[in-house]
Structure 1
Amino acid sequence: MTTLLRPFLHDRFLHLLVVLGLLLACFVPFSLAELPRAVDWPTMITLCGLLMLTKGIEASGYFDALGRRLVQGFHHQRQLALFLVAAAALLSTFLTNDVALFILVPLTLSLRKYSALPIARLIIFEALAVNAGSLLTPIGNPQNILLWRHGDLGFGGFIWQMLPLAVLLLLSLLLLTVFCFPARRIERHPHEDEARWQRPLLLASAVLYAVFIAALELDLAAWGLGLVFAVFLLMARRILLTIDWSLLVVFIAMFIDVFLLTRLPVLQSSLHAVGQLPQLGQFLLAAGLSQVISNVPTTILLLSSLPPSVLLAWAVNIGGFGLLPGSLANLIALRMAKDRRIWWHFHLYSIPMLLWALVSGWILLLTIRAA
């Protein structure tokens, strides 16, 4: 029970959302019956299923064991950095950006026993990489899940609309990695043996992952979630206790807070005007608002005024760069690093990445529409 409750007791962001909701409730007219309807339950079902499946893959230990073996084969810092950036981007496309960080950041921290590597800089680039990689798929991050569930594109169609931006940002990030990490040889220290991995758990999680995605496509998400939960309950019930269930409560609180926020009279008139803005204004508003309240709440807020279009999808994903609150993935990565200096160093790379993404992304969007 302690393991289950610990995330709720230590999640400061959740506490902040609850306090914000209570404050808004004092100034906004609403009824308690409206609050459950404010939550997008299909999105919550999707998040819940993915949370269990990714935890199963993580708990199998396969990626940790594979990563340790691969790291031993690199001879230069630049090679290692390029691998970690590419791995973070790839994993975030199907394991979600948060889970990719939960796998790679601990692995990166363990590299201290191998050599004196620039660990903080590696973690910063991993955070940037999951923001760039996760935008490709409907399940890469929470804002994409929201946009996908509200839109009419299938799984493949969503990927196709995000592909140009993903390629642009990932290539830009890889180029930045080449300039920021020297081709200095890695001098290794003695290290521990590789961790073993659980083949049955990995295979079960991978098969269930495919089944769950198919269930989402067929609008059978609840049945898919029930199957995933039943298998884990029989096969690995301990994993269910170690999942950070507070993450789901965070998103429920976000839905409710945004619902209450939109009931403020001053904001209602402002949101009505959002739809009248020129497209560049909408693009900059979505990316800019993400800097303040994070891109997930921004998506929830703007979906009440704007369609789940490619413009909105690109803008809120670009908004994950820049300031620290832009994406929850940023907060997760830097908090796991346990280095006070990293909070300031992060912005030396993230803010230029935001500016580049805004300019190049808008030009690319106009080019695609004109073609």
Structure 2
Amino acid sequence: MDWLVLAVFVAVYLGMFLGELPGLALDRTGVAVLGAIALVASGRVTPEMAWQAVDVPTLALLAGLMVVSAQFRLAGFYTFIARRLASAAVAPPVLLAWLLVVVAVLSAFLVNDIVCLAMAPILVEGCARRGLDPVPFLLGLACAANIGSAATLMGNPQNMLIAQKLHLGFLSYLGLAFPVVILSLAACWLVLVLQQKGQWFAHTPIPAITARELSRWQAAKGLVVLGAVVLAFSVTPWPREIVAVTAAGLLLTSRRMASREMLGLVDWQLLALFVGLFVVNHAFAVEGWMAAALSKLSGWGLDLSQPAVLFLSAAALSNLVSNVPAVMLLLPSATYPAAGPILALASTLAGNLLVVGSIANIIVVEQAAQLGVGISARDHARVGVPVSLITLFLALAWVLLAF
């Protein structure tokens, strides 16, 4: 076993934990890419091995579905939905319930990060116009985006990775996750309502939001293509990555939507993170360190072949190193039928625990701050901690019952 490979692996996952490497202007993506470069430059991984380590079908699936999500953003679809919600003439608790359901549905079939990025500013504007405190609604947006994305195998990057690696059935997973998501949304609504204690109103300066108006044709085009993608995922044996890139190609073939704009909304940083981690994790496994680590954990009573242990490990690691690196690290242990749903539900629902637990949370907090609405880590934790603990308990109980 090569000690340099171990050192690089530890340094990379330390960077995942810290979000950077001390003294360097590297974020998580930079750390992962630098780790892969170090392994190739040192000869521990040849260029051919590095290429073989990268799961190209997973990257193609991710990129294709990101283009589909970009279609809806550029068509003004998210803006239209957010404004219709914010202007609904209903009581604040009812408005919150509608928001949670709509955001969860959108996040189940479109990349949840883009949903949050597009809807957060419009939600602040709508709440400000009605004199509502935007904070509970923004927290609801973030929590519902995470919960909703757990419903399908296309709602977030880690679920796409799990689906590709473990060949999970789209409809079978949806059937398993759906009850958990419904109960989790109800729990989220209840926590937020109890936290507010009837105090729904607050003065917020109305921000000047520049947003795209709805293009009904482009939105309809996106809905037709998305429907075809979901249908293909559900009832055909076609490779999902081929379906996704074909859908992206159809949407890029447009007379009005510039390909530069659409491709600009693809999260290339995330794709680069995947590439770096694929190479680093591959080297770690090939050198025998992964097997040694699993053996050591088993000797300590942490046997990842036990569903409850895997579930809790995924939830904990997702908040330490973020959910995508956590899933990539635990995938080699996913060798039994319950493991795929366990990883998908635990890593996604754990994202609500802390602000740094998911990109969706960070996007909402940063977007709110730019518009003068402060959401501290403590504000988020007051909602995120109970929501995360309740939903994780529901998910674990349901998976153990189901299997």
Coarse TM-score class (shorter-chain normalised): 0.7 to 0.9
Question: 1:279 aligns to what?
Answer: 307
Q: How does the TM-score come out when normalised to structure 1?
A: 0.83
| Contact residue 291 and residue 319 of structure 1 kept, 8 A | yes
Question: 2:316 aligns to what?
Answer: 288
Question: 2:216 aligns to what?
Answer: 199
2: CA distance between counterparts of 1:23 and 1:123? 41
Superposed CA offset, 1:198-257 (max 9, x none) = 122112222222333445543243365145325414332243343234232233233334
- Give, as a single letter, the amino acid of the residue that structure 1 aligns with 2:353: G
Q: 1:311 to 1:68 in 2, by over 3 A?
A: closer
1:189 offset after TM fit, Å?
A: 9.0
1:71 offset after TM fit, Å?
A: 2.1
1:244 paired with 2:266, answer yes
Question: 1:334 aligns to what?
Answer: 365
- Give, as a single letter, the amino acid of the residue that structure 1 aligns with 2:389: L
- Give, as a single letter, the amino acid of the residue that structure 1 aligns with 2:221: A
SS in 1 for 2:332: coil
1:17 offset after TM fit, Å?
A: 2.9
Matches within 5 A, 1:345-364: 345-364=379-398
Question: 2:401 aligns to what?
Answer: 367
1:177 offset after TM fit, Å?
A: 2.5
- Give, as a single letter, the amino acid of the residue that structure 2 aligns with 1:32: P
1:319 paired with 2:350, answer yes
| Contact residue 82 and residue 178 of structure 1 kept, 8 A | no
1:109 offset after TM fit, Å?
A: 2.6
| Contact residue 28 and residue 263 of structure 1 kept, 8 A | no
2: CA distance between counterparts of 1:317 and 1:12? 21
Question: 1:165 aligns to what?
Answer: 180
The number of equivalent residue pairs is: 360
SS in 2 for 1:201: helix
1:106 offset after TM fit, Å?
A: 2.0
Q: 1:128 to 1:40 in 2, by over 3 A?
A: same
Q: 1:19 to 1:135 in 2, by over 3 A?
A: same
SS in 2 for 1:179: helix
2: CA distance between counterparts of 1:48 and 1:271? 32
Superposed CA offset, 1:9-48 (max 9, x none) = x994422433444566688932221122222222211111
| Contact residue 49 and residue 212 of structure 1 kept, 8 A | no
1:173 offset after TM fit, Å?
A: 0.8
* Structure 2 stretches lacking a partner, 5+ long: 1-24
1:275 offset after TM fit, Å?
A: 5.4
Question: 1:3 aligns to what?
Answer: none
Matches within 5 A, 1:35-74: 35-74=50-89
- Give, as a single letter, the amino acid of the residue that structure 2 aligns with 1:242: G
Question: 1:31 aligns to what?
Answer: 46
2: CA distance between counterparts of 1:135 and 1:341? 24
- Give, as a single letter, the amino acid of the residue that structure 1 aligns with 2:237: L
1: CA distance between counterparts of 2:140 and 2:261? 29
Superposed CA offset, 1:172-199 (max 9, x none) = 1121132233274689998989963112
| Contact residue 74 and residue 212 of structure 2 kept, 8 A | no
- Give, as a single letter, the amino acid of the residue that structure 1 aligns with 2:254: L
Question: 2:238 aligns to what?
Answer: 219
| Contact residue 88 and residue 104 of structure 1 kept, 8 A | no
Q: 1:190 to 1:323 in 2, by over 3 A?
A: closer
2: CA distance between counterparts of 1:203 and 1:361? 34
More displaced stretch, 105-114 vs 31-40:
105-114
2: CA distance between counterparts of 1:15 and 1:184? 41
| Contact residue 143 and residue 384 of structure 2 kept, 8 A | yes
1:279 offset after TM fit, Å?
A: 2.8
Q: Select 2:138's aligned residue among 105, 109, 123.
A: 123
Q: Select 1:270's aligned residue among 285, 293, 296.
A: 293
1: CA distance between counterparts of 2:313 and 2:206? 51
2: CA distance between counterparts of 1:309 and 1:214? 21
1: CA distance between counterparts of 2:281 and 2:48? 16
Superposed CA offset, 1:330-349 (max 9, x none) = 22322322266523321222
Q: CA RMSD in A?
A: 3.2
1: CA distance between counterparts of 2:91 and 2:100? 15
| Contact residue 74 and residue 262 of structure 2 kept, 8 A | no
Q: Select 2:93's aligned residue among 62, 67, 78.
A: 78
More displaced stretch, 50-59 vs 317-326:
317-326
Q: 1:11 to 1:69 in 2, by over 3 A?
A: farther
| Contact residue 56 and residue 239 of structure 1 kept, 8 A | no
Question: 1:300 aligns to what?
Answer: 328
| Contact residue 59 and residue 271 of structure 2 kept, 8 A | yes
Q: How does the TM-score come out when normalised to structure 2?
A: 0.77
Q: 1:160 to 1:27 in 2, by over 3 A?
A: farther
* Structure 1 stretches lacking a partner, 5+ long: 1-9
